[in-house]
Amino acid sequence: DTGVSQDPRHKITKRGQNVTFRCDPISEHNRLYWYRQTLGQGPEFLTYFQNEAQLEKSRLLSDRFSAERPKGSFSTLEIQRTEQGDSAMYLCASSLGQYNSPLHFGNGTRLTVT
Amino acid sequence: KQEVTQIPAALSVPEGENLVLNCSFTDSAIYNLQWFRQDPGKGLTSLLLIQSSQREQTSGRLNASLDKSSGRSTLYIAASQPGDSATYLCAVKGSNFGNEKLTFGTGTRLTIIP
C-alpha cells in the first residue's frame, strides 16, 4: 500500500492555459474522489467515481472542468482556460466500496494561475 | 444544506496537556463523521471515523465522540506532543442514499508549545 499518489505536486500556469492533473489511488480502492481546497478553508467536494463511472458532480465543477477514470484505476482532472480563481490545492482521495470506509487522501496538486 | 463549524480556529497549548477540539454540524441526518489532520502543504490523514450509530471511537491518545442529535462531535487528545501540531478537520457524510460527498469544517489549527 503506497498510498494515494498525485502528480504534479505544484503547477504554475498562465491564465487561459489548460492543465491536467493525475491521481493514482490505492490499488484495491474502487472509489476515487476529487476535492478542492483554498487557503484557510476545508476541502470542497468536486466529483467522485465508482470504478470508471462518474457518479456525482458538484455545481463547483463548471464546464471548464472535466474528470475521467478510463479504466477504473488512475484518474485525471483537466481544467480548460484556467482563471485566477482556479488557484487552489486539488486533492484526490480513494476508498473501498463500503459506505463507512474512510477516505485516504493524497498530498494534492497546488495550482497557481498567474 | 449541511454546514460544519469548528471553533476555535486556532489553539495553542503547552506540551503534555490534554485538549478538546470541537465540531458542530447543522443537519443531524448524517451517516458518519470523520476527523482528519493536515500538515502544512500536505494532504489529509484520516484519524478516526465514527458511524452515526456509534457514540465514540478511540485510537491511541485520540478519542472522538459523537452526539448526533445535538449536532456535535469532539476530538480529545491526551498528553499532547509537539508532533500533534497540525490543522484538524472534521467532515460529515450525509445519510441520503448515494451521497458520497463529505462536508468539511474549516479546521482548528493546533500548536503544541514545547
Can you tell me the mean pLDDT for B74-81? 97
* pLDDT confidence tier of residue B110, bands split at 50, 70 and 90: very high
Which of A54, A60, A101 has the alpha carbon at shortest distance from A75?
A: A54
Gyration radius of chain A over CA positions: 13
Q: Which of A40, A44, A106 sits opposite B43 (nearest CB)?
A: A106
Q: How far is B36 from chain A (nearest CA, A)?
A: 10
Tell me the pLDDT tens digit for each residue of B11-67.
Answer: 999 999 999 999 999 999 899 999 999 999 889 999 999 999 999 999 999 999 999
* pLDDT confidence tier of residue A62, bands split at 50, 70 and 90: confident
Report A:17-36 residues touching B (Cβ under 8 A).
31, 33, 35
Give the integer Cα–Cα distance in Å for A6 and A32: 12
The per-type count for chain A, helices as H runs and strands as E runs, is 0, 11
A67 burial via Cβ count (<10 Å: 0-12, 13-18, 19+): buried
Is the CB of A108 less than 8 angstroms away from the CB of B104?
no
**CA of B94: which chain A residue's CA is closest?**
A99
Is the CB of B98 less than 8 angstroms away from the CB of A55?
yes
Q: Is the dihedral of CA A65, A88, B110, A23 positive or negative?
A: positive
Q: Is the pLDDT of residue B99 over 80?
A: no
